[in-house]
Amino acid sequence: MITQNVHALLDALYTLGKLSEGGVYRPVYSEPWQMAHRQVAEWMAQCGLRVRADAVGNLIGRIDGSVDGPVVATGSHIDTVRGGGRLDGALGVVGGLIALSTLRSQHGQPRLPLELIVTCEEEGSRFTNNFWGSLSIVGEADEKQANQHHDVDGVTIAQAMRQIQLDPARIAQAARSDIGWFLEMHIEQGAVLEQKQLDLGIVTAITGLTHFRVTVTGRADHAGTTPMQIRNDALTGAAAMILAIEHAARALGAPAVATVGRISVEPGQANVVPSSVLFSIDARHPDRSQQLQLCADIRSELYRIADERALGIHIEQLTEHPPVPMAPEIIHAVQAAAEELGVSHQQMPSGAGHDAQIMARRCKAGMLFVPSIGGRSHTPAEDTAPAALERGIQVLTGALYRLAY
């Protein structure tokens, strides 16, 4: 049974990098990551795939096609966040392996080459960047970046590569132009499918993301002697702004989201009126015009509140990633496979970033989601019902068949 295979493989990966406090941690190029890399390579070979690793450590298992055409690829990542679960990334790897093995045994040689691509890093849980593996594949990583990004111990990507006999001078050799399609299977990491009691999500776009850093300045005064009506309290002003950010996202409506996840206060004393506050904003929407509208609404509200409260404000945009639409051809292939199998589904955006959004810069990309129990992810509690895993892998297999045979 597919479910028996997938659970055995997922459980085997989950033991590699298991933490005593719960969850798993496989940062790229670490010993647990290397162990997982070797394990997946062994599984690939057992399934009859031709196995290689590229210049940055992306692992590729291939079934040659009868014609030398563009590659039909699937896959995901084996690196994890600290304390992560057994499915994020790993499901796309294990599911892709089972799909390719099934296609090879049941249908023989495909017309187009089929590949399982295990990207060497997606989460950004070790170094000060993410998508290192997929960025290398699309030709947007180089030795300069490898020397710039480092982990908490100051070890750069380049140094970590050398420690496992990878040469940073060869990073450019990982770039490819022969991939035609990339289909990634993933857990939803949210609760939409579960709430709607659906088996599958077909991703239409990966959300646009904007990060801001906001500094609010007021005046430090004695907390006991300064009347409320003459204070310039940076923290109460920031609190009003944070509520306004939430309201802006709610007013625009789903799937708009906005989050303040980090805040610091100066001088940070119990008996001093705060003089400055620094906080982050993470704003997301899968539609570009709505993404821009959300950010404009947030800016407008923050300036309004600062003006009303006589506070200084500086809004710095740190990053902006537009939404990435998924390829209609892949959406149609996944939908056709789901309908043939009688798997309930809906089209939906992805609120999180994935390798597929990077791969879309060089090929036709798509994603399919299976439900997450309770919407949980990036935690040992992340899980998906066994039957849902089976249906997801069956749809993945059917979609790859439509693209490659």
Tokens for 387, please give them. 């039957």
- 197 shares its domain with 225: no
- Residue 121: what pLDDT? 93
Average pLDDT over residues 208-218: 97
Final residue in a domain of this structure, among 321, 336, 355 = 321
* Domains contained in the chain, number: 2
Cα dihedral: 153, 154, 156, 161 (round 10): -30
- Contacts (Cβ under 8 Å, ≥6 apart) of 24: 14, 16, 17, 18, 32, 80, 83, 84, 85, 86, 380
pLDDT > 90? residue 119? yes
Which phi and psi (to 5°) does residue 106 adopt? -95, -30
Q: What confidence category does residue 253 fall into, taking pLDDT thresholds of 50, 70 and 90?
A: very high
Final residue in a domain of this structure, among 304, 321, 338 = 321
Domain residues for the domain of 179 are 2-206+323-404
Amino acid type, 329: E
Which phi and psi (to 5°) does residue 58 adopt? -65, 135
**Ranges assigned E (strand) in 188-256:** 200-206, 208-217
Distances (CA, A) of 177 to 70, 173, 294, 400: 9, 11, 36, 19
- 145 shares its domain with 109: yes
Distances (CA, A) of 97 to 103, 173, 196, 240: 10, 25, 29, 50
How far apart are alpha carbons 237 and 307 in whole angstroms? 10
Place of tokens 């499915």: 87
For 157-171, the pLDDT digits (tens) are 999 999 999 999 999
- 68 shares its domain with 180: yes
- 312 shares its domain with 329: no
Tokens for 47, please give them. 């399934």
How far apart are alpha carbons 100 and 116 in whole angstroms? 8
SS3 263: strand
pLDDT > 60? residue 135? yes
Per residue, the 3-state secondary structure of 282-297, as one string, reads EEEECCHHHHHHHHHH
- Residue 5: what pLDDT? 87
pLDDT > 70? residue 81? yes
pLDDT > 70? residue 1? no
Strand bridging mode 179-187 / 71-77: parallel
For 24-65, the pLDDT digits (tens) are 999 999 999 999 999 999 999 999 999 999 999 999 999 999
- Residue 128: what pLDDT? 83
pLDDT > 60? residue 175? yes
Q: What is the DSSP annotation of 361-395?
A: TTSEEEEEEE--GGG--SSTT----HHHHHHHHHH
- 176 shares its domain with 261: no
144: left (phi over 0), alpha (psi -120 to 50) or beta: alpha
- 330 shares its domain with 385: yes
pLDDT > 90? residue 115? yes
- β partners of residue 114: 63, 72
pLDDT > 70? residue 2? no
CATH number at 337 reads: 3.40.630.10
Element (H, E) at 257: strand 257-259
Average pLDDT over residues 400-404: 98
SS3 245: helix
Final residue in a domain of this structure, among 258, 293, 321 = 321
175: left (phi over 0), alpha (psi -120 to 50) or beta: beta
Average pLDDT over residues 231-235: 98
CATH number at 232 reads: 3.30.70.360
Q: Of 194, 26, 222, which is closest to residue 118 (Cα–Cα)? A: 26
- 172 shares its domain with 191: yes
- 45 shares its domain with 170: yes
pLDDT > 80? residue 3? no
- 87 shares its domain with 235: no
- 41 shares its domain with 169: yes
How many other β-carbons are positioned within 10 Å of the β-carbon of residue 290? 16
- 237 shares its domain with 169: no
**pTM of the predicted model, to two decimals?**
0.91
Across all residues in the chain, what is the average pLDDT?
96
- 181 shares its domain with 52: yes
The answer to whether the CB of 167 falls within 8 A of the CB of 49 is no
How far apart are alpha carbons 325 and 178 in whole angstroms? 21
SS3 241: helix
pLDDT > 80? residue 4? no
- Residue 221: what pLDDT? 97
Q: Of 110, 74, 45, which is closest to residue 396 (Cα–Cα)? A: 74
How far apart are alpha carbons 311 and 308 in whole angstroms? 8
pLDDT > 90? residue 335? yes
378: left (phi over 0), alpha (psi -120 to 50) or beta: left
Average pLDDT over residues 364-371: 98
